Amino acid sequence: MRGMSRRPRVVQSGPISPILDTDRGRGLILMRALMDEVTVEQGNAGTTVYLKARIF
């Protein structure tokens, strides 16, 4: 598995909230900190987040 990568996907039926408060709003910050690549696509049906992480 050395040198391989995983590409999970997260789908949400609504928009991503840019508001950071004490109880929520840290998802994208954590994803960007932990993954090698994060792509966010927003559309009429909702939001899809594509993640990429290398496996060592």
pLDDT in tens, 4-55: 777 877 787 876 666 666 677 788 888 899 999 999 888 888 888 899 988 8
The pLDDT of residue 6 is: 77
The number of angstroms, rounded, from the C-alpha of 7 to the middle of its chain's C-alpha atoms is: 10
The pLDDT of residue 45 is: 82
- Is the whole model's pTM more than 0.85, yes or no? no
The pLDDT of residue 37 is: 92
The pLDDT of residue 18 is: 63
Beta bridge partners of 5: 54
Where residue 31 falls (left for φ over 0; alpha for ψ -120 to 50; beta otherwise) is alpha
Reported as a pLDDT band with limits 50, 70 and 90, residue 2 is: low
> Helices in the chain by DSSP H: which ranges?
27-34
> How many Cβ atoms sit within 10 Å of the Cβ of residue 49?
19
